[in-house]
Structure 1
């Protein structure tokens, strides 16, 4: 059910009450963000009031209904579902013509730093210093998609920044929640490992709330968490 606010935080809608959605609900409660809409496969949609931002932490099957709601009510969207079809990604781009849309492949701030380090490394390892670069990801058993969207995004980041494709993307299904992603650069006799580990669903939930707060005041358009964190870190150092 929708919840009573404890302060003047943004009003949030949460679609999908699995691990991420449930963690986001708890983070909202702790940070004074009122949840005025929840939706799940088992309980349907429960709406107390139109939220200022909708966070989609559900599944591709709910995508059409989520986009229709955002379009009808002019609600910004934080899209956390990564395994969408090309047609669904196109529909997300079309929605961004009317409202702010954050495409959140990975919500973690430390992942944002990992991306920035990857770009920095690419800029410094040209010519004779060019490494062999690989990406490794680990998720618990049950993670459906291999490789993960984050691993593919890291590989794309390296290729775009360096002009060189990664040599391999390794995926593993074992261990504890939530995930590990590692970029390894290898030269003759040495290697550099940039590893990011997330051990709690609270971490991406905090990122989802940060993205929602950012999207509430944003202009229509499609952005990634890179844009969100670029803006938030610039504000914090201004």
Structure 2
């Protein structure tokens, strides 16, 4: 069984990915999983997909917005306040995961085969297109300095850093398993999410460093 590393995303990019599926004629399948289980309690296979974004009107701007994914004749609504999003884009398929923050389910959306042009468009999401003044700004000076610093580190320093982050991720996985065994599903999900974030941080730090890329990431 192949394990994929999901990447943190957001509702805007998730909407973009569903629109790419629709544009390039890909169907979409869905699995709803509870907790850490692998057996879906809801499954839909190979239907047409569409997506819609509804703006709410809560006291806090954006807090009541909802992403609606339409699979065939069935609509699934995900409130942005209550859900987290992640993605994985391979050379031929798109996977979008939507995790409930306060409950124990994850919705996995998997596309059928998509053309290379579609994959390229999916990978080139620009979060600044159509954004307003409340959106994330361009890189700050501090962020640019961090990028340059990561590029300048030697192999051993990056290796120690990445190894340390992986150890913390493993500890979070162990804590998630411990809490799950005693029925604390919400806490277990939080530690699972922390582990995923740490592993993604370790991967990005490694990818940002030329020496680490040459010694580790590009080794067959």
TM-score of the pair, normalised by structure 2: 0.28
More relative contact order, 1 or 2 (CA 8 Å, 6+ apart): 1
